[in-house]
Amino acid sequence: MLKTESVLIIGAGLCGSLLALRLAQRGYQVTLVEKREDMRTVALSAGRSINLALSNRGLKGIKRVGLEHKIEAYCIPMLGRMLHDKEGHTQLSKYSGRDGEYINSISRSGLNKILLDELDTFKNVDLKFNHSCVHVDLKQAHASFKTADSNSEYTIEADVIFGTDGAGSVVRQQMEKERGFLFSHSQNFLTHGYKELTFPPSAESEYAAEKGALHIWPRGENMLIALPNQDKSFTVTLFLAYEGGLNNFNSLTTAESVEDYFKTDYPDALALMPNLGTEFFENPTAPLGTVRCDPWTYGKALLMGDASHAIVPFYGQGMNASFEDVVEFDDILEESNFDLKTAFKVFSESRKPNADAIADLALDNFHEMKSHTAQDLFLEKRKLELALEKEFPKEYFSKYSLVTFSEEVSYKEAMDKGRAQDKAILGLLKHHKLNGDQSLRDQLTLIQKVSQQVLEGELLFEV
């Protein structure tokens, strides 16, 4: 069924590109405008390319547009967290007790290129790069742009506009400015920033560390992580406070102080970083923010992806959430019999609680990753959960599995159920109510019972 509506999508990042592709497949006239240059025409230094964790919800989006086979070659499976202590000892904590459940390290630009190449094959898609949006008329669905090499503006008139222009969305800013509707919005920064660094390939041109894991150096307040790249390097990210503590981004001002800090806190990582002294000062320090707003639609415009729900990266769900947006919107569009206005309203209302949930989960996970992963009670809980998942693969799902591998469960449900389960297990372990004398089945039954009571907000007085 060919659609007559013209659709303007502002922002050709991962979310905008996937959305454009799906709407092109649906038969809409799609104009996709991006302010940056075409990433396929500029060479990016491989070591600097940001990699992302692609998991089930993101894959659902890739499958929706039929590109699952094209991306396979770009995915590097990571089976679990490889924890590094200060003495360089490592310990693998698997993501799931079920076989075949893992996350994938994938290059952001590599994935984006696959989507853009596919878009090029559609006659009903007009792709524009280097065009910055300077104004949006939300009620008329008109938007003005200018190119980098010209000061003149031109206007695109469409039937609807999608704002997929990221955390600093111009479309969202226009919603903030509109009067006459109650637009709630927030932008919250952590006191930590991040900086990307590199493990280059080893002297033998191999991965310098175990390839099949997401490496973590949890150090209480701060942490280092590393994800493998296709070129056998790792992208390493330091999450560090801007101020306070023994070391912070403001205090690390010399190559010596940086090396001293790494020597003390990350000695085994330092051994793999010949360029630390230069990279640390050449690469930018970026802030970590959460953006929320409500509603996501006004006039003839809808926000999607980071533009409506930018989250911190600690659950590896940013891209996955944006891709799931596209799938959910596509479903709602079909259910609405392709009435775009209705679909905008339904999507804004039904998706928002899930976006809020993954934003909260991502913030929680920052604390878990930098500190709890290394604590005894947490390790005991993970060990038990993996055993339960292995023994009862269709009955037990940890919070991590619910969020990451259970794409049929909404983020909100995953959060509510997962949090209750965590609280129940930690409480039961602490009170020594789970132990080796019980069968795994009895332990599962007890956990399920107490989780349900916690979920219902009940005060527990007996087990």
Site residues for a copy of itself per CB under 8 A: 182-189, 191, 242, 287, 289, 292, 294, 423-424, 427-428, 430-431, 433, 450, 454, 458-463
Q: What is the smallest separation between the CB atom of 188 and a copy of itself, expressed in angstroms?
A: 4
Q: Tell me whether residue 60 or residue 309 sits nearer to a copy of itself (CB atom).
A: 309
For the chain, first and last CA: distance in Å? 58
Q: How many helices (H) and strands (E) does the chain have?
A: 15, 19
Q: Tell me whether residue 118 or residue 422 sits nearer to a copy of itself (CB atom).
A: 422
In 40-177, the DSSP E strands lie at 51-54, 76-78, 80-84, 90-94, 103-107, 125-128, 131-137, 142-147, 153-157, 160-163
- In one-letter notation, the amino acid at residue 26 is R
H/E segment holding residue 219: strand 214-219
Q: What is the smallest separation between the CB atom of 251 and a copy of itself, expressed in angstroms?
A: 17
Peptide bond into 295 cis (omega under 30): yes
Q: Tell me whether residue 142 or residue 292 sits nearer to a copy of itself (CB atom).
A: 292
Q: Tell me whether residue 229 or residue 297 sits nearer to a copy of itself (CB atom).
A: 297
Which residues, other chains included, contact 258 with Cβ-Cβ below 8 Å and sequence gap of 6+? 252, 276, 277, 280
Contact 402, 417 (CB under 8 A): yes
Closest CA to 79 of 404, 421, 409: 404
Q: Tell me whether residue 117 or residue 458 sits nearer to a copy of itself (CB atom).
A: 458
Closest CA to 158 of 431, 340, 387: 340
Q: What is the smallest separation between the CB atom of 186 and a copy of itself, expressed in angstroms?
A: 3
Q: Tell me whether residue 124 or residue 251 sits nearer to a copy of itself (CB atom).
A: 251
Q: What is the smallest separation between the CB atom of 172 and a copy of itself, expressed in angstroms?
A: 13
Q: What is the smallest separation between the CB atom of 290 and a copy of itself, expressed in angstroms?
A: 9
The CA-CA-CA angle for residues 265, 270, 274, to 5°, reads 155
Q: What is the smallest separation between the CB atom of 357 and a copy of itself, expressed in angstroms?
A: 17
Q: What is the smallest separation between the CB atom of 252 and a copy of itself, expressed in angstroms?
A: 18
DSSP class of residue 48 equals G
Q: Tell me whether residue 42 or residue 459 sits nearer to a copy of itself (CB atom).
A: 459
For 416, half-sphere exposure in the C-beta direction (CA atoms, 13 angstrom radius) is 12
Tokens matching residue 135: 């104004």
For 261, half-sphere exposure in the C-beta direction (CA atoms, 13 angstrom radius) is 22
Q: Tell me whether residue 4 or residue 184 sits nearer to a copy of itself (CB atom).
A: 184
Q: What is the smallest separation between the CB atom of 184 and a copy of itself, expressed in angstroms?
A: 4
